[in-house]
Amino acid sequence: MHKKGSFRAIYGVSFRALRTGEVFGAVVRDVTLCYDTQGDQYTVDELVAQIVDEPLNAVDPTTLADNHRLLQSAEKLAHNPDQVVVSLLVNFITRETRDRFLLGINNSHKIQMRGSRYTTSTFKPPSTRVVQCIKCWQLGHWISTCPVVGKICGICASTQHSKEEHYCEVCHKYGSPCQHKAKLCINCKGDHPAYTMKCTKRYVNADVAQRLGAARPQ
């Protein structure tokens, strides 16, 4: 079993490198989380390291993005209360590498971890509305409870103007992203507007935003 430190030592950097922008997720289903009869559990880092360590999976660690996480609450197996199964989200920086991972070993749509095979499937972002302020564009609250004083642009993250005041001298348009002006997400620092579903934090951390934010927009 690899710990976080050994994973970094082997590959030089953690698989949680702060990669920004759009990512492509794959789900590994019904992964065994506990590794002994005492209920000790693998961390997300250790589970992803197990995937990378298995030669049959053919996963290049440099193709991994960030925000790998467990998708559901751990569920005890009825026939073995000492074991727990979860679904694991693994993010890739390109669609092609994600799709190759989904094909699995010999096109079986299964990958191997610790000698056992697990089914893979495409990750579909949650369809529920993300709690996001349209004033500061941060996650976790609505505009009615925004603590930020001043302006923040949802397109380029500037504090000198709002999204509506964002202007391109070439397009002569206000409030719209374009190819002439740089884009910057205030949440993940990616080169896209803060309100697009390309944002890693916007869809991967949508559940966190829902718990921290208001129950409904005001």
Spatial distance between the Cα atoms of 161 and 171, rounded to a whole number of angstroms? 18
Give the pLDDT confidence of 61-78 residue by residue, as tens digits.
999 988 898 875 444 444
Give the pLDDT confidence of 158-188 residue by residue, as tens digits.
999 999 999 999 999 999 999 999 999 998 8
Four-point Cα dihedral 81, 211, 21, 129, nearest 10: 110
Q: Give me the pLDDT at residue 198, please.
A: 73
Count Cβ atoms below 10 Å from residue 142 Cβ, excluding itself: 17
Q: Count of residues for the chain?
A: 218
Q: Give me the pLDDT at residue 83, please.
A: 57
Q: Give me the pLDDT at residue 72, please.
A: 58
Q: Which residues of the chain have pLDDT under 70?
A: 1-21, 36-39, 72-83, 126-129, 203-218
pTM of whole model > 0.75?
no
In whole angstroms, what separates CA 108 from the centre of its chain?
A: 25
Q: Where are the domains of the chain?
A: 4-122, 125-218
Q: Give me the pLDDT at residue 37, please.
A: 62
Q: Give me the pLDDT at residue 126, please.
A: 61
The angle at the Cα of 48, spanning 44 to 51, to the nearest 5 degrees, equals: 150
Q: Give me the pLDDT at residue 105, please.
A: 95
Indicate the SS3 state at residue 144.
helix
Q: Is-contact 139 188, C-beta < 8 A?
A: no
Residue 8 exposed, middle or buried by CB count within 10 Å (0-12, 13-18, 19+) = middle
Count Cβ atoms below 10 Å from residue 100 Cβ, excluding itself: 17
Indicate the SS3 state at residue 194.
coil
Q: Give me the pLDDT at residue 202, please.
A: 74
Q: Give me the pLDDT at residue 218, please.
A: 37
Q: Give me the pLDDT at residue 38, please.
A: 64
Task: Show the tokens assigned to 142.
Answer: 């609505």
- Of residues 208, 200, 169, the one with CA closest to residue 66: 200
3-state helix, strand, coil in the chain (%, to 5): 25, 20, 55
